[in-house]
Structure 1
Amino acid sequence: MLRLGIIGCGRVTTMFHLNAVKASGVVDLVSISDKSSEQLAEVKGTTGVGHACSDYRELLSRPDVEAVSINTPPRFHEEMTLEAIKAGKHVLCEKPLAQTVEGCIKIREAKKDLVVLPAHNYVYTPAIYSMEEKIKQRAIGEVRRVKLNFENNLGMYGSKTDFRTKDPRGIVEDVMPHILSVAGIIAGKPERVAAVSGLCKKYEVCDNLHATVETERGVTLDCTASWTRTIPTFAVAIEGEKGILKSDFAINPYSYTIETEGSKTKISERGPGWYLDLVQFKHPSFPEQYRHFDNLIHRGGEPRITIDDEIAMLKIIQEIGDRLVTK
């Protein structure tokens, strides 16, 4: 079992990570930390974890903590990851790993033999594994374009912090990592920003964004991000020279369709029982991410997302943000 400490007991932890830890079957939660005594008490009461503290460095000092999941606002990620490495802990860190390329490079140089896994849960969605196989089999021919629409309802999310809506680049840092991480698995590292546009519908900062990005393989990414959609969606359409693969990783993570030569086939790995999990925020990508993290630590192998991948994404995110705020 992976002996885990969680740093940060906010919404992403209570909504997603606690369910994932339990469902993974490979994690033993041994310690939690948060500066908010209220949030700390809530998670301690929910999980029955044996140790809780307000100072994350106390958690890092514990010999029974083998690895940490850092689920705090982005401005703390670099410092906390470096402190965890210094304490000899493996790290799963919520996006972004650091807010700058330089910060990611520091982490890459410091980690040595420790596992540092940038957390991008959607790359562990069941449907994407199946779609990857279809691409490798050339079922739709060479991939030319990928359309990725990540649209959610920020108000419904109920965040306990407001860092997203205080930053004019907030939607870029919040949503584009989801889009670019999935795109990287399908089409290679993002390389060039071709176009950016945005508008404000509900918030004082941009809450709807469109960006066109080219990847290292010459694939065009057509990216849409929104905080104002009533029903969340992460619709992905992979267009090849001979057909199209489609899925909604948020709503139907076990299903995808393939369209070729006038025929359309839907493949589902799980029936409608999934929707009960959906309303309980039990997305299958989160426990699979923990299983992957555990495998890397205890059995080795190649990470699905590397720090170099994170650096490539961060460069594009920074450019999109710069273009957005200068418009």
Structure 2
Amino acid sequence: MLTTLALALANAPSVAPATPLGARIDGELEALLTIRPVALLTGWTFVFALAVALAVLGPLAVRTTWRLGFDVRHRLGYAASASRVLALGMVVLGVLRPFLSQAPTLGSAVVLLGVGMATIAAPTHLRNLGAGLALIPRTRLREGDLVTVGALEGTVRDIGLLRVSLRTGAGGITHVPAVDFDRLPIVVGSRRAAVPIAVSVPVPDDLAPATLARARRELWCSPYRRAGTELEIRHEASTGEGGKGRLSVRMDTWAATSSTEVEAHLLALLGRVLPDPVGKPGSASEEGSP
């Protein structure tokens, strides 16, 4: 009996021992099977919600600070960009962490494969992302600057990771891919090249405070207002009975811009905001260094 058993074991096919890499991959596959889908989806949802809140509320808080008159030099623009970069990093790490912690070898291979596929499928987005990250440390380009990118000109409204938003002279928003700031010639307007512009329009004596506040917000976001300067808006009531008051506006604009063009823009803006149509307003402009 023992002889027969020994012969059977000797004739049985031998099994090759597992290699260290193969054993590691087998262990990582078994570890991945222990991940609970509900916990994984819950964690991803929390990470995505936190990243979206950070990417939205960060720049919003910076713009609110600027509208309140703080940070005149717009140095907090770096904080807005940093919040977007941090949000992007949170999403990437939040998605990959459960897999990399359980299967570092397989996870690293999947990450490299994903980067290669993204390079082939969306090269434009990757180039824009690289150019957007390169724009963050630039000290000469900040939100509120007047820039010329190729044939486009406008005030920098937002510096994103993939594109830069410019408010044009017509009041619209133009989104310029970030890679264009590396490919095209860029001219950044001097912060000292400015002239004061003053306009006045007839308004009712009982102008609502909400309307006045809206006019101030629209004027503050005007593409012709020089970055880092104050805005003066004053409502003067009429002296006679049943007369019209006047709304006087004074702000600094770019010296390279025609004063007539700026006055026409301000009058059209006030005509949209004020309750009564603007009649034939009086306007005045001054020239000089601020």
Pairwise TM-score range, normalised by the shorter structure: under 0.3
Determine which structure has greater relative contact order: mean sequence separation of CA pairs < 8 Å that are 6+ residues apart, divided by chain length. 1
Higher helix fraction (1 or 2): 2
Q: Higher Cα Rg: structure 1 or 2? A: 2
TM-score for the superposition, normalised by structure 1: 0.22
TM-score for the superposition, normalised by structure 2: 0.24
